Amino acid sequence: MIDTVPPATVFIFGALLVPFIRGKWKSAYLLLIPVVGFINLINIPEGTHWVVRFVGYDLVFGKVDRLSLLFGYIFHLISFIALIYALHVKDDLQHMAGLVYAGSALGVIFSGDLFSFFVFWELLTVASIFLIWARGTKESRGAGFRYLLVHSAGGLCLLAGIVLHVYQTGSIAFGYMGLNSVATYFIFFGFGLNCAWPILHPWLTDAYPAATITGTIFLSAFTTKCAVYALARAFPGTEALIWIGAIMTGFPIFYAVIENDLRRVLSYSLINQVGFMVCGIGIGTHLSINGAVSHAFNDILFKALLFMAMGAVMYRTGKINGTALGGLYKTMPLTCIFCMVGAASISAFPLFSGFVSKSMVMDAAALGNMRIIWFILLFASAGVFHHAGIKIPFFAFFSHDTGMRPKEAPLNMLVAMGIAAFLCIFIGSYPWPLYSLLPFQDVGYDPYTASHVVGQTQLLFFSALAFSLLLLSGIYPAEMRSVNLDADWFYRKAGRRFLWFCEKPLMVFGNFLDRYVLKLAGASKSSPAEAVQWEQGIDRFFHVKLTSVPTVIYNWVRHLRTEMGYLPINVTYVAISFVVLLFLVLLLG
């Protein structure tokens, strides 16, 4: 038995040493960190470790159970792959940001108390922002700032919830909560923002395509999956999540079909995949939570694989728009194959990893007799194949020949993609090792029944047929260079207009009043002293009127509250929390 340390510390302290190591040793050192971390992790027994007494509360840095361990394994694995992929990067800051980011994700996963959970949660945002800014373009700077502001709003929401929760319950332990008080609603929304719920989601599709080629791999793995973990820990079986998840699987695929930036297409499909997890957590049976968690595991791998393939294309050609790419299979065959393995996995082809996890969520929905949900999920399954499974490889590697003949991706990228692709196929063909790690061992599941395999293959092949026919007939929407409006319009456009309204018409009106009221008063009284008195009188009048506004609002709200007493309490809380959150986002934007 060796002495173990909290998993987060290996990465965070490891990151601090990066600038001091030079030359070839740096690559070895970078790869050593996740390896050491992993050895550390497998030596930690289940249970509660590293409890620190802090101002009267117990901070727990190691809540180790099957749920947190599974996320711990995959986070180590993906850090290792992402670091290999990024070995050619000479920028220490990016390596450090990536490592701290991975470390804080591990911190979130293994936190047993809300305080350290929150600290690591915020560290996630802070570390990841550097992966976006490191790109150094105007677009990435803007997207980074928006990312920061939106996540600050979400963080505040979470903090408000935590403070209320601790005040009400007197405990900072992080475990099952359930939606039962204002505090938990705030926490719920705080998680939801990082989870990219509908309307709260645009930070993801805004920032991920703007990040560096290597940074996106880290980004795609941690933030949303930490939120999935947090929901699985605190809110399993919450009915609202079923619908939120179902909507998440559904709406992004429409956007993905018309989006030109292929990394943004992948960002939309990331939301779509997280939707399956959220839905599974909402259903709350052992089967569905197993499905959600294993799908998170698989999604990290195949989504990273797809982002890596697109990153390699971008690295070699400098382009990422569907309109500018095509025909790359000729000189980047390996990247093309890896991309298609990722595409097959995300589409849940039999023998590929998505198949063995997504179907658990589907079956759980069917067992719960949720017809509409099941149909939405099935629609999303067909849709995800359409945009991530076919569109990505087709427009990048086939489609029209652009005449570009870039070199194959660098060796380190190929190795990283190769590992991820191997794991996608391995887990898909032989899922039992993954199944043995799942939180609930009392439910057996066999994805490879004849009817399931045939049904799924039919679904996918006939989606492909639809794609081929639409493409051949010219109906398939051509890729276009454009911006597609999304919910971020509210803080990118409406927020700006609101500020303009305050700065321009409102200020001009205020200045006008100041100047002319005084002048008028002076003219009518012909004595400056009296004019000032007049002006003060007017000011006081307005002041009294203005200060009475809160009282009016208060009375109005009190009246409203009595009215709303007739509504089920949940609706009120949801509405209030949502409005507060929207305001926060709008104001900050």
Partner 1 sequence: MKEKSDAPHTSNQAPDEEMETASSKKYLFDNPRNVKILLRTFFSSLLVLLVIEFFIHKHPHFPWEGWHEFYAVFGFVACVALVLAAKYILRPLVKRGEDYYD
Judged by the rule CB under 8 A, the positions of this chain that interact with partner 1 are 142, 253-255, 257-258, 329-331, 333, 336-337, 340, 343-344, 347, 349, 351, 363, 366-367, 369, 371, 374, 378-379, 382-383, 385-386, 389-390, 393-394, 397-398, 405, 449-451, 454-468, 470, 475-477, 480-486, 492-493
Show the tokens assigned to 364: 């759980």
Provide, rounded to whole angstroms, the least separation between the CB of residue 468 and partner 1.
6
Q: Are strands 57-64 and 47-54 parallel, antiparallel or unpaired?
A: antiparallel
Contact 354, 345 (CB under 8 A): yes
Of the candidates 95, 42, 80, 103, which has an alpha carbon nearest to the alpha carbon of residue 418? Answer: 80
CA 249, distance to chain mean position in Å, is 13
DSSP string across 433-461: HHHHHSS--S-------HHHHHHHHHHHH
* 13 vs 379, beta carbon nearer partner 1: 379
Provide, rounded to whole angstroms, the least separation between the CB of residue 490 and partner 1.
12
* 190 vs 389, beta carbon nearer partner 1: 389
* 260 vs 357, beta carbon nearer partner 1: 260
The phi and psi torsions of 61 (rounded to 5 degrees) equal -95, 0
The phi and psi torsions of 403 (rounded to 5 degrees) equal 85, -5
* 62 vs 428, beta carbon nearer partner 1: 428
* Residues sharing a CB contact under 8 Å with residue 426, sequence separation 6 or more, in sequence order: none
* 182 vs 334, beta carbon nearer partner 1: 334
* 336 vs 414, beta carbon nearer partner 1: 336
256 vs 247: CA distance, rounded Å: 15
* 128 vs 463, beta carbon nearer partner 1: 463
* 159 vs 378, beta carbon nearer partner 1: 378
Provide, rounded to whole angstroms, the least separation between the CB of residue 363 and partner 1.
7
The phi and psi torsions of 88 (rounded to 5 degrees) equal -75, -10
Provide, rounded to whole angstroms, the least separation between the CB of residue 356 and partner 1.
16
* 253 vs 270, beta carbon nearer partner 1: 253
Report helix, strand or coil for 59: strand
Provide, rounded to whole angstroms, the least separation between the CB of residue 424 and partner 1.
13
77 vs 87: CA distance, rounded Å: 16
Contact 535, 518 (CB under 8 A): yes
Provide, rounded to whole angstroms, the least separation between the CB of residue 143 and partner 1.
10
Helix (H) or strand (E) holding 57: strand 57-64
Provide, rounded to whole angstroms, the least separation between the CB of residue 507 and partner 1.
24
Q: Kindly calculate the radius of gyration of the chain based on its CA atoms and give it in whole angstroms.
A: 27
* 308 vs 460, beta carbon nearer partner 1: 460
* 394 vs 498, beta carbon nearer partner 1: 394
Buried-exposed string 56-83: b where 16+ CB fall within 10 A, e elsewhere: ebebbbbbbeebbbbbbbbbbbbbbbbb
On the CB side of 581, CA atoms within 13 Å amount to 27
Contact 177, 235 (CB under 8 A): yes
Provide, rounded to whole angstroms, the least separation between the CB of residue 288 and partner 1.
14
Note every long-range contact of 102-105, with CB atoms under 8 Å and residues 24 or more positions apart, other chains counting.
102/11, 102/34, 102/75, 102/218, 102/222, 103/7, 103/8, 103/9, 103/10, 103/11, 103/12, 103/14, 103/15, 104/8, 104/12, 105/75, 105/221, 105/222, 105/223, 105/225, 105/226
Show the tokens assigned to 138: 């105007």
* 330 vs 540, beta carbon nearer partner 1: 330
The phi and psi torsions of 515 (rounded to 5 degrees) equal -70, -50
Provide, rounded to whole angstroms, the least separation between the CB of residue 483 and partner 1.
4
Provide, rounded to whole angstroms, the least separation between the CB of residue 460 and partner 1.
6
Contact 342, 420 (CB under 8 A): yes
Provide, rounded to whole angstroms, the least separation between the CB of residue 492 and partner 1.
5
State which amino acid sits at residue 300.
I
* 39 vs 485, beta carbon nearer partner 1: 485
Provide, rounded to whole angstroms, the least separation between the CB of residue 136 and partner 1.
18
85 vs 76: CA distance, rounded Å: 14
DSSP string across 513-524: HHHHHHHHHHHH
Contact 106, 8 (CB under 8 A): yes
* 311 vs 383, beta carbon nearer partner 1: 383
Provide, rounded to whole angstroms, the least separation between the CB of residue 86 and partner 1.
26
Provide, rounded to whole angstroms, the least separation between the CB of residue 18 and partner 1.
35
